Amino acid sequence: QLQLQESGPGLVKPSETLSLTCTVSGDSITSSNYYWGWIRQPPGKGLEWIGSIYYSGSTYYNPSLKSRVTISLDTSKNQFSLKLKSVTAADTAVYFCARGKRVTISGVITGLEAWFDPWGQGTLVTVSS
Amino acid sequence: EIVMTQSPLSLPVTPGEPASISCRSSQSLVDRNGYKYLNWYLQKPGQSPQLLIYLGSSRASGVPARFSGSGSGTDFTLKISRVEPEDVGLYYCMQGLQAPWTFGQGTKVDIK
């Protein structure tokens, strides 16, 4: 059964870099059917997609965060990671990692991810001095 | 970016009764192949979102048949035929047609 688990510091100081890792078990992150993404949810608020990575290392990010975000992967550990630099209190949120499924049309895998499933349990990161 | 708008934002329900949630997108979510890039998630209290419906109307694995998705173009609906107590939580729609992927504001479903 596929499982994703986020890990990393729960407290980050303003202006520093937030770093999280997602460990995937039960599937390989080198599958061509999937992307691997990060989504966040500020306390009491809705969901915001941060960015995603393909097993080839290709990445794409939400333009609202693009200048501060880097997503990378480590295929040897079946993990992918998120770095968000220059954080402020507005970056306080529960951060989820998730698998993004690509659509197959007439037997051909096409496009980017179309939905996320499953998600990790999430980890709360608070930005505070 | 595609803006997703859900209604209502709060939905008190009675167990055994039907319920529905609407999701509207700022542009069509149907591609040239006819695929509808609209998904529904349920986030139960204290949990991560779980996929209910993908591509407009396909139920995810393990999702009860009382959940159904419909719609096309810019208007989509999630229906629960008979609400169960375990269906309480936040429901989100999400578009998967064009990055950045975006979500609705969420609809809080609770028991009357």
CA distance A27 to chain B (A): 17
**CA pair distance B43, B18, nearest whole angstrom:** 19
* A83-110 average pLDDT score: 93
Tokens describing residue B15: 């167990």
Answer whether residue A108 shows pLDDT above 90: no
Contact: A105, B35; criterion CB under 8 Å: yes
pLDDT for A17 equals: 98
Taking CB atoms and an 8 Å cutoff, what residues of chain A touch B98?
A: none
Kindly state the DSSP code that residue B81 receives in the 8-state scheme.
S
Contact A87, A15 (CB under 8 A): yes
What value does the mean pLDDT of chain B take?
97
Residues in a beta bridge with B96: none
**Any idea of the CA torsion for A34, A123, B52, B1, to the nearest 10 degrees?**
-70
**Confidence label for A47 from pLDDT (cuts 50, 70 and 90):** very high
pLDDT for A104 equals: 85
Answer whether residue A77 shows pLDDT above 90: yes
* Location of structure tokens 């479903």: B109
Angle (nearest 5°) at CA A3 between A62 and A9: 60
- What confidence tens digit (pLDDT) does each residue in A31-40 have? 989 999 999 9
Contacting B with CB below 8 Å, chain A residues are: 46-49, 60, 62-64, 96, 101, 103, 105, 112-122
Answer whether residue A72 shows pLDDT above 90: yes
